[in-house]
């Protein structure tokens, strides 16, 4: 751990990057805009750690935003990839690895009877919405404030930490005509959903949600919320879609749907199932999935979809996750981290709330409780920024936004958590 943090090379590279890529990045949150200060340019990752181009080492709680659940660059994943690489990087034709990963996903995720692989979570969510509309013959969609389902036009309404203007798209360039069919409700508010169904009878194709929110910070569903949505969607002839891009194979092997016992009609996946390579997937009931081309009329395609490298990394990652004790371990170390952070906040006089489930956690600088995005927005963002920078300076890499969940991995050790908590105590004592 280096104090002060020397980041000369990071600064040089990021300055050059800003001249040639918008904001210097290929995905906005990486630019550290919401916490301010200089982003860190990574050089390599291994296990629970990341090293920047200046040689600083960090305990990484971002994990490439979720995929690195077995730890970065797991030797078994890397070896499997090396072997697969020898056979070529892309086929654009059927390959048996697709069958293997598809069977693993179908076996694991309760709602999935058939699956289609794509290349990102965004693509999975775009495709699932088309499918919801194709299957029901209806156009309207209910999503929740603060939930992110990728950057498709019709999802860019109250999409997490983006600009939240009533009824308007979060981004210029998104036609109003596209988002008028996107209805929003506060997370954990069944009455609001009921009202939307009553106001739009026979018009709503379905409800999509993060069954545990990670894109407005970490927000779990209240007891009965998922069950209530299951009943409401059935009563109204609409589909229930769990976006498990973040939670799939993380909260439990079979995702939130396994843990909660609530089975949606359709599910989107990404992150973990690609083991660090670009993958997304959507799947669900056989009768619905049978509408997807070429089995049915709903068109969706992809040059690199089912790519052998991505399939290989996914298969190996899921194999590693199947080992006994995996999720118990994730839960144990993450609980230690989360309860430790809350305890330290309390002892150092900061109003904070948060929690964890399995290897996903969050900490808000607000007394809470946080049930939805409006509650999350009450957090002290300036304090979070100072906390983030202090932790970074002590070798702890946290998500650079109050409105992002944190992730642990099987590679994080008790000692890593102890170091993280010691750093948190120092930082919180000085905030
Ligand atoms: C719940 C959820 N859905 C969809 C996406 C979009 O996935 P991708 O970034 O792979 O396009 C994300 C990304 O973080 C996500 O967390």
Q: What is the pLDDT along the chain (431 residues), one digit of tens a residue?
A: 446 799 999 999 999 999 999 999 999 999 999 898 899 999 999 999 999 999 999 999 999 999 999 999 999 999 999 999 999 999 999 999 999 999 999 999 999 999 999 999 999 999 999 999 999 999 999 999 999 999 999 998 877 654 333 345 778 898 888 888 999 999 999 999 999 999 999 999 999 999 999 999 999 999 999 999 999 999 999 999 999 999 999 999 999 999 999 999 999 999 999 999 999 999 999 999 999 999 999 999 999 999 999 999 999 999 999 999 999 999 999 999 999 999 999 999 999 999 999 999 999 999 999 999 999 999 999 999 999 999 999 999 999 999 999 999 999 999 999 999 999 999 999 99
Do 212 and 345 belong together in one domain?
no
Residues 270 and 176 reside in one and the same domain: yes
3-state class (DSSP) for residue 242: strand
pTM for the model stands at 0.97
Q: Say whether 148 is catalytic.
A: yes
* 192 in the same domain as 53: no
Domains: count for the chain? 2
pLDDT at position 162 is 43
Atom of ligand 1 nearest to the CA of 210: 1
Domain's final residue, options 265, 299, 322:
322
Q: What is the full DSSP assignment across 90-143?
A: --SS--HHHHHHHHHHHHHSTT-SEEEEESSHHHHHHHHHHHHHHHHS--EEEE
Quick one: 307 and 338 in the same domain?
Answer: no
Q: What atom in ligand 1 is closest to the CA of residue 123?
A: 11
Annotated catalytic, 243? yes
Which residues approach ligand 1 with their CB closer than 6 A? 65, 120-122, 125, 148-150, 210, 214-215, 243, 245-246, 270, 280
Distances (CA, A) of 44 to 48, 58, 73, 153, 229: 11, 11, 9, 34, 42
CB contact at 8 A, 52 and 6: no
Report the separation in Å between the CA atom of 215 and the middle of ligand 1, taken as the mean of its atom positions: 9
Instruction: State the residue range of the domain holding 110.
Output: 75-322
In a domain? residue 160: yes
Same domain, 50 and 119: no
Q: Which residue has the tokens 């077995």?
A: 70
Same domain, 275 and 317: yes
Same domain, residue pair 382 and 306: no
CATH code (residue 197): 3.40.640.10
**Rounded distance, CA 332 to CA 347, Å?**
22
Residue 214 inside a domain? The answer is: yes
Q: How far apart are CA 244 and CA 224, in angstroms?
A: 18
C-alpha 346: how far from its chain's center?
28
Residue with tokens 């009943």: 231
Secondary structure element (H or E) that encloses residue 394, with its range: none
Max Cα distance, the chain (Å):
61
pLDDT at site 166: 38
């Amino acid at each position: 751990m280096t104090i002060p943090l020397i980041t000369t090379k990071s600064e040089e590279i990021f300055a050059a990057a800003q001249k040639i890529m918008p904001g210097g990045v290929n995905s906005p949150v990486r630019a550290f805009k919401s916490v301010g200060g200089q982003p860190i340019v990574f050089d390599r990752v291994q296990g629970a750690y990341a090293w920047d181009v200046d040689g600083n080492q960090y305990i990484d709680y971002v994990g490439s935003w979720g995929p690195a659940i077995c730890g970065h660059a797991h030797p078994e994943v890397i070896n499997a990839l090396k072997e697969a690489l020898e056979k070529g990087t892309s086929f654009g034709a059927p390959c048996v690895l697709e069958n293997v990963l598809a069977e693993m996903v179908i076996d694991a995720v309760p709602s999935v009877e058939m699956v289609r692989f794509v290349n990102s979570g965004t693509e999975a969510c775009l495709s699932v919405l088309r499918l919801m509309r194709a299957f029901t013959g209806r156009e309207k969609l209910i999503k929740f404030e603060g939930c992110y389902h990728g950057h498709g036009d019709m999802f860019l309404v109250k999409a997490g930490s983006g600009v939240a203007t009533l009824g308007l798209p979060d981004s210029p360039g998104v036609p109003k005509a596209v988002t008028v069919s996107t209805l929003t409700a506060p997370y954990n508010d069944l009455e609001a959903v009921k009202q939307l169904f009553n106001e739009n009878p026979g018009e709503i194709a379905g409800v999509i949600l993060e069954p545990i929110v990670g894109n407005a910070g970490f927000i779990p569903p209240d007891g009965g919320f998922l069950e209530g949505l299951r009943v409401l969607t059935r009563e109204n002839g609409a589909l229930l879609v769990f976006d498990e891009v973040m939670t799939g194979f993380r909260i439990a092997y079979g995702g939130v749907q396994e843990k909660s016992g609530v089975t949606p009609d359709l599910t989107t996946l990404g992150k973990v199932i690609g083991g660090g390579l670009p993958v997304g997937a959507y799947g669900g009931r056989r009768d619905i999935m049978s509408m997807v081309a070429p089995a049915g009329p709903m068109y969706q395609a992809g040059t690199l979809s089912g790519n052998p490298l991505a399939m290989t990394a996914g298969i190996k990652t899921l194999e590693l996750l199947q080992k006994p004790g995996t999720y118990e371990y994730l839960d144990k170390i993450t609980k230690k981290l989360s309860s430790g952070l809350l305890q330290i906040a309390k002892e150092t006089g900061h109003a904070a709330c948060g929690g964890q489930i399995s290897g996903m956690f969050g900490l808000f600088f607000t007394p809470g409780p946080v049930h939805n995005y409006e509650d999350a927005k009450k957090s002290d963002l300036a304090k979070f920024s100072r906390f983030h920078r202090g932790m970074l300076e002590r070798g702890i890499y946290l998500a650079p936004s109050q409105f992002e969940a944190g992730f642990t991995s099987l590679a994080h050790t008790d000692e890593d958590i102890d170091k993280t908590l010691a750093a948190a105590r120092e930082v919180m004592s000085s905030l």
